[in-house]
Chains A and B, each alone.
Chain A
Amino acid sequence: MAYRQGNDWLQAVRDVSFHINAGETYGLVGESGSGKTTLVLAVLRYLGSKGSIISGDIYLGDQSMRALDDQELRQMWGKQVALVPQNPQSSLNPSIRVGEQVAEIFRYQNKLSEPDAKLQTLEWFQKVRLPDPERVATSYPHQISGGMQQRVLIAMALSISPSLLVLDEPTTNLDVTIQAVILDLIDELISEQNMAVLYVTHNLGVISRYCDRVGVMYASELVEEAHPKELFSEPLHPYTQGLLDSIPQFGETKDRIRLQPILGQIPAIGQGPSGCIFRPRCPVAIEVCTNRPSLFPAGGNRLSRCHRWQEIALDDISVQQTPPSIERQQKGMAEGRSETLELENVSISFPLQRSLNDFLRGKPRKGVQAVNKVDLVIPSGTTLGLVGESGSGKTTIARSIMGLQSIRAGVIKLHKVSIPDQLSRRDLETLRQLQIVFQNPQEALNPHLTVGETLRRPFIRLLGLPRSEADAKVIDLLEAVHLTAAYANRYPGELSGGEIQRVALARGIASRPDLLILDEPISSLDVSVQAAILNLVNELQRDIQNSILFISHNLAVIGYLADQIAVIYVGTLMEIARQSDLFQPPHHPYTEALISAIPQIDPQTSHLPIHLDGEMPDPVNIPTGCPFHTRCPRFIGEICANTAPRWQIDPRTEKRIFCHIPLEDLLSSQAQSTSDGTGLE
């Protein structure tokens, strides 16, 4: 498959062959740039005018898809293939009610009358368990949540009973707890129909849970194919091994395991090296690798595109680099460390705009409660992880610490001294001590300044250095984040995602802040690059001894990196635990659900996800009592709905849990459900 660019053709997918049987789910993993999206579009024959299949063919049953003309293609689209796309919001027409968007399929494809089509639609909405199907049907896409939008799209895709269903990262943009529910729904519905499923994702855990066979794509090529269990326990391609080593697993911590990033980066499309495409990044590349390997049958039903797969299989060579021993003094959590930052009882709300009418009638302003009475302490030199789903208020907290968001109540203390919440009233020294790295470094760095100019500013502005001295410091700084001095003259647009993130980190530490806030610093990066950034964060913290507030929705990453973890739900803290205790019961029921919802690569540690009912509460109407009571699987009655819980402290671990259920009860029931692997239901 190739794309036209000017007069050139760029090969986006090279020499890929695989088959999917009816009733089988084939997983396709790969990072961005691996060509998996192009492959999906090609399988659907939806390449557009710029893309083309230059050799080979795709067969659906006996039908060659390359031979289809436009008319036949549309026939096939509505009847035989269907797609559940990555971004449900933009995949629905914003100005047509969702019911109509599904009903038109029945009208055009099945020639049903208007009322019959409507009836069918409602039936399908029930099958995908949309609450209140009639109301949803008359809603516009923006009026329903992302999870509900995805259910609508699933209904669309399955309603035509396709013989091939393509799932293109169907849950990547959804929260973990919603993801688990949606994935199980898809799994259940497709098992009712005997269809072939192509599941494309970058999430290895999801593959391991739901797929029968897996193909791994790298830089336009299929490099390995196997059963997921075999693939993950004994990968036969250095790239697969690299991927597995670069993501932290549950319970792995920075004190014990250093992540193994894959060095270098994916070659740009069409720019791959000759010979083995992975050669430049491969730790075990040798002479023979300059010849292009074919997909070797590697026993069983396995395939590997590596010349040395046999040696890898026999453990003659190890792809894993020897992990450098990690020297890190055991640190006690509280003793001997002063507090860098304290939040006491911080509440933040966003006022809603009143209409002129309400204003004239003197109605009070309504507010959205974004953060409710949050207490946090970050001891010096330690990392606090703040984990929560979208809308939980974690970024708002970060902004309030930085002075970008005023708080309604509470105190922010830096080194035990209260600081003003408005940026304009803070002094330079406070600004120097607090720095943040924003979520999207591509957007946070000024595209018209060179890296050097960006990095020079904190030295001049916050440390008051003269320009010549600042320039020298910039070079040191670039070296500290493992970039060369040459980067100082480049613009952000010329850098890769990982490099930009290094620059953003460098800018963050330039003033040697006492507290560095990292807001989802790796969520926009590819898996193989994430590890390098996480390692860098660790390394920098060892050097500077600063405190870090690490914000993420990824529990495994937080668990790896943070010394202490705080779990937040719609603006209220639910649990605060030490790193080593987070994955051990007792858990807050919400934490328990979060942990169970994340699909694990290793099927042994994976247990069935706990399904949370319903949606995140509307921030305008946060539930009374415990804010989680509306979705809590361990709801114990009136008290949860009416009374705010107290903090319970586990005497052994100092774990703090914001729940009415006594810790002993939580402990005994959770220990049991973990051991029999059944989850709650």
Chain B
Amino acid sequence: MAFLALTVLLTSLLVFLVTQWLPGDVCRIVLSREAGPAAIENCRQELGLDQSLPVQYINWLRDFISGDWGTSYSTNLPIFPMVIDRLRNSLILALVTLVISVPVAVILGVIAGLNANKPVDTVISVGSLAVVGLPEFVTGLVLIWLFSFGLRDLGLPYLPANSSIPPEATFFDTLPMLILPALTAMLVLLAYIARLTRAGVLTELHQPYVRTADLKGLPRRIVVVNHVLRNALLPTITVIAISIAWLISGLVVIENVFNYPGLGRMMIFAIDRRDMPLLQAVTMVTVLCVALANLGADLLYSILNPKIRFH
């Protein structure tokens, strides 16, 4: 826990410094190009930009912790509710993606691992690799074409291509809109998780303890479920936990394709507008997500792996 706090603190310093060094003076951007030096000086004082860096950092950190994330330069709205709203959207998308992709990927991986080097394995491995090779905007567009246009022509249920969620929508209103972006994200994760699971199953299958279990005369099904999977899925589970961080903040392309209001798009927006307070806030939220996901993964691993639990 102490290390987690230290990590986050260090990254906050990095985030602060990097945003400081980004080219472009905020006041020049906020005010018009023709603004006189006096006006710019005034603006700088107002924003506290005339103070020394350490002071600025301390102030910023204090404000950030107390929830006062300032006002966006570009929209003049308070940042905190904006970011939290986007975070919620991103979390929902991440959750839906995980719920769809983890069972599929793990099952495919286990099937591939148990039938290693047989045709089934080849189909799964090659297929999932082929999909992961495609960029997200391609898979996204193909899915849109399929589900929003192609299937509709066949009279099948249609899934919306535009996932811009109105702020007052409930979870169930938004669910249909989430499916296509979630499917796109799933196709990225699928190959990764499936291959990892396959490797895990394959390694564990050749461990001597599997021979011990087989020689007890247990049915193959019991050997696989009780003995092999228990150990084979350990690395998979931690990777899934870590991938949550990517799902929350890394889906920039997908969010753009589907016009989904998540954190990723907000970050691009902030960079575009040189909106430093917004960028800092989004980055810090991302950092927190990554750190928490890693902590979660470690805790989960230590719960599942008795070797770690008792040391």
- The digit string for B60-99, where 1 denotes a CB below 8 A from any CB of A, is 0000000000000000000000000000000000000000
> Which residues from A are CB-within-8-Å of B157?
none
Please give the distance in Å from A88's CB to the nearest CB on chain B.
9
Asked if B222 lies at the interface with its beta carbon under 8 angstroms from chain A, I say: yes
Asked if B44 lies at the interface with its beta carbon under 8 angstroms from chain A, I say: no
For the complex, what is the distance from the CA of A95 to the CA of B307, rounded to whole Å? 8
Q: Among A85, A108, A140, which residue has its beta carbon within 8 angstroms of that of B216?
A: A108
Name the CB-closest residue of A to B216: A105
> Which residues from B are CB-within-8-Å of A109?
216-217
Contact between chains at A108 and B217 (CB < 8 Å): yes
Name the CB-closest residue of A to B231: A95
Q: Among A78, A87, A95, A140, which residue has its beta carbon within 8 angstroms of that of B208?
A: A87
Contact between chains at B310 and A90 (CB < 8 Å): no
Asked if B53 lies at the interface with its beta carbon under 8 angstroms from chain A, I say: no
13 A-B residue pairs with CB within 8 Å: A74-B217, A76-B217, A77-B214, A77-B215, A93-B209, A93-B230, A94-B231, A95-B305, A96-B227, A96-B230, A101-B212, A108-B219, A153-B212
For the complex, what is the distance from the CA of A202 to the CA of B85, rounded to whole Å? 69
- The digit string for A74-85, where 1 denotes a CB below 8 A from any CB of B, is 111111011101
> Which residues from B are CB-within-8-Å of A76?
217
For the complex, what is the distance from the CA of A160 to the CA of B212, rounded to whole Å? 13
- The digit string for B191-221, where 1 denotes a CB below 8 A from any CB of A, is 0000000000000000111011111111110
Contact between chains at A140 and B209 (CB < 8 Å): no
Asked if A44 lies at the interface with its beta carbon under 8 angstroms from chain B, I say: yes
With A74-B219, A75-B217, A140-B306 in contact, is A91–B230 under 8 Å at CB? no
Asked if A142 lies at the interface with its beta carbon under 8 angstroms from chain B, I say: yes
Q: Interface of chain A, helix or strand or loop or mixed?
A: helix
- The digit string for B217-256, where 1 denotes a CB below 8 A from any CB of A, is 1111010001100110010000000000000000000000
For the complex, what is the distance from the CA of A96 to the CA of B223, rounded to whole Å? 12
Name the CB-closest residue of B to A109: B217
Contact between chains at B209 and A91 (CB < 8 Å): yes
Contact between chains at A91 and B208 (CB < 8 Å): yes
Contact between chains at A74 and B220 (CB < 8 Å): yes
Contact between chains at B310 and A143 (CB < 8 Å): yes
Contact between chains at A78 and B217 (CB < 8 Å): yes
> Which residues from B are CB-within-8-Å of A105?
216-217
For the A-B complex with A70-B220, A83-B211, A109-B216 known, give 7 more contacts whose Cβ atoms are closer than 8 Å: A78-B215, A83-B215, A85-B211, A91-B211, A92-B209, A96-B227, A153-B212
> Which residues from A are CB-within-8-Å of B207?
90
For the complex, what is the distance from the CA of A153 to the CA of B216, rounded to whole Å? 11
Contact between chains at B222 and A108 (CB < 8 Å): yes
> Which residues from B are CB-within-8-Å of A75?
217
For the complex, what is the distance from the CA of A109 to the CA of B211, rounded to whole Å? 17
Asked if A156 lies at the interface with its beta carbon under 8 angstroms from chain B, I say: yes
- The number of chain A residues with a CB under 8 A from chain B is 33
> Which residues from A are CB-within-8-Å of B306?
94-95, 140, 142
Please give the distance in Å from B114's CB to the nearest CB on chain A.
12
Contact between chains at B208 and A77 (CB < 8 Å): no
Please give the distance in Å from A124's CB to the nearest CB on chain B.
13
- The number of chain B residues with a CB under 8 A from chain A is 25
Asked if B2 lies at the interface with its beta carbon under 8 angstroms from chain A, I say: yes
> Which residues from B are CB-within-8-Å of A74?
214, 217-220
Of listed A76, A104, A143, A156, residue having the most chain B CB within 10 A: A104
- The digit string for A41-66, where 1 denotes a CB below 8 A from any CB of B, is 00010100000000000000000000
Asked if A356 lies at the interface with its beta carbon under 8 angstroms from chain B, I say: yes
For the complex, what is the distance from the CA of A161 to the CA of B271, rounded to whole Å? 73
For the complex, what is the distance from the CA of A95 to the CA of B218, rounded to whole Å? 18
Q: Among B214, B216, B305, B307, which residue has its beta carbon within 8 angstroms of that of A104?
A: B216
Number of inter-chain CB pairs below 8 Å:
85
For the complex, what is the distance from the CA of A156 to the CA of B208, rounded to whole Å? 14
Q: Among B216, B220, B222, B227, which residue has its beta carbon within 8 angstroms of that of A156?
A: B216
Please give the distance in Å from B233's CB to the nearest CB on chain A.
10
For the complex, what is the distance from the CA of A142 to the CA of B231, rounded to whole Å? 14
With A90-B207, A96-B227 in contact, is A140–B310 under 8 Å at CB? yes
> Which residues from B are CB-within-8-Å of A94?
209, 231, 306-307
Contact between chains at A156 and B212 (CB < 8 Å): yes
For the complex, what is the distance from the CA of A142 to the CA of B309, rounded to whole Å? 11
Please give the distance in Å from B306's CB to the nearest CB on chain A.
4
Name the CB-closest residue of B to A360: B2
With A93-B227, A95-B305, A140-B307 in contact, is A44–B217 under 8 Å at CB? no
Name the CB-closest residue of B to A76: B217
For the complex, what is the distance from the CA of A21 to the CA of B214, rounded to whole Å? 25
Of listed B217, B227, B231, B310, residue having the most chain A CB within 10 A: B217
> Which residues from B are CB-within-8-Å of A96?
226-227, 230
Q: Which of A246-299 contact B (CB under 8 A)?
A: none
Contact between chains at A142 and B307 (CB < 8 Å): yes
- The digit string for B13-48, where 1 denotes a CB below 8 A from any CB of A, is 000000000000000000000000000000000000
For the complex, what is the distance from the CA of A83 to the CA of B211, rounded to whole Å? 9
Contact between chains at A46 and B220 (CB < 8 Å): no
Please give the distance in Å from A446's CB to the nearest CB on chain B.
27
Contact between chains at A104 and B212 (CB < 8 Å): no
With A90-B207, A356-B2 in contact, is A46–B307 under 8 Å at CB? no
For the complex, what is the distance from the CA of A264 to the CA of B120, rounded to whole Å? 46
Contact between chains at B215 and A79 (CB < 8 Å): no
Of listed A95, A142, A143, A356, residue having the most chain B CB within 10 A: A95
Q: Which of A301-358 contact B (CB under 8 A)?
A: 356
Contact between chains at B215 and A90 (CB < 8 Å): no
For the complex, what is the distance from the CA of A321 to the CA of B270, rounded to whole Å? 87
Please give the distance in Å from A304's CB to the nearest CB on chain B.
34
Q: Which of A83-130 contact B (CB under 8 A)?
A: 83, 85, 87, 90-96, 101, 104-105, 108-109
For the complex, what is the distance from the CA of A79 to the CA of B218, rounded to whole Å? 11
> Which residues from A are CB-within-8-Å of B230?
93, 95-96
With A93-B230, A94-B231, A95-B230 in contact, is A78–B218 under 8 Å at CB? yes
For the complex, what is the distance from the CA of A85 to the CA of B218, rounded to whole Å? 18
Q: Which of B274-311 contact A (CB under 8 A)?
A: 304-307, 310
For the complex, what is the distance from the CA of A143 to the CA of B190, rounded to whole Å? 36
For the complex, what is the distance from the CA of A520 to the CA of B221, rounded to whole Å? 44
For the complex, what is the distance from the CA of A82 to the CA of B213, rounded to whole Å? 11
For the complex, what is the distance from the CA of A356 to the CA of B215, rounded to whole Å? 45
For the complex, what is the distance from the CA of A143 to the CA of B308, rounded to whole Å? 11
> Which residues from B are CB-within-8-Å of A44?
215
Name the CB-closest residue of B to A142: B307
> Which residues from A are CB-within-8-Å of B218?
74, 78, 104, 108
Please give the distance in Å from B220's CB to the nearest CB on chain A.
7
> Which residues from A are CB-within-8-Å of B2?
356
Q: Among B209, B227, B304, which residue has its beta carbon within 8 angstroms of that of A90?
A: B209
Name the CB-closest residue of B to A97: B306
Contact between chains at A85 and B310 (CB < 8 Å): no
Please give the distance in Å from B110's CB to the nearest CB on chain A.
17
> Which residues from A are CB-within-8-Å of B212?
83, 85, 91-93, 101, 153, 156
Nearest 8 interchain pairs by C-beta: A78-B217, A77-B217, A91-B208, A140-B306, A93-B209, A90-B208, A91-B212, A77-B215
Please give the distance in Å from B215's CB to the nearest CB on chain A.
5
For the complex, what is the distance from the CA of A96 to the CA of B222, rounded to whole Å? 14
Name the CB-closest residue of A to B1: A356
Contact between chains at B222 and A93 (CB < 8 Å): no
Q: Among B216, B226, B307, which residue has its beta carbon within 8 angstroms of that of A78?
A: B216
Q: Among B214, B226, B227, which residue has its beta carbon within 8 angstroms of that of A46?
A: B214
Please give the distance in Å from A368's CB to the nearest CB on chain B.
14
For the complex, what is the distance from the CA of A92 to the CA of B310, rounded to whole Å? 18
> Which residues from A are CB-within-8-Å of B307?
94-95, 140, 142
For the complex, what is the distance from the CA of A105 to the CA of B223, rounded to whole Å? 12
> Which residues from A are CB-within-8-Å of B214?
46, 74, 77
Please give the distance in Å from B99's CB to the nearest CB on chain A.
26
For the complex, what is the distance from the CA of A92 to the CA of B208, rounded to whole Å? 8
Contact between chains at A93 and B216 (CB < 8 Å): no
Q: Which of A601-658 contact B (CB under 8 A)?
A: none
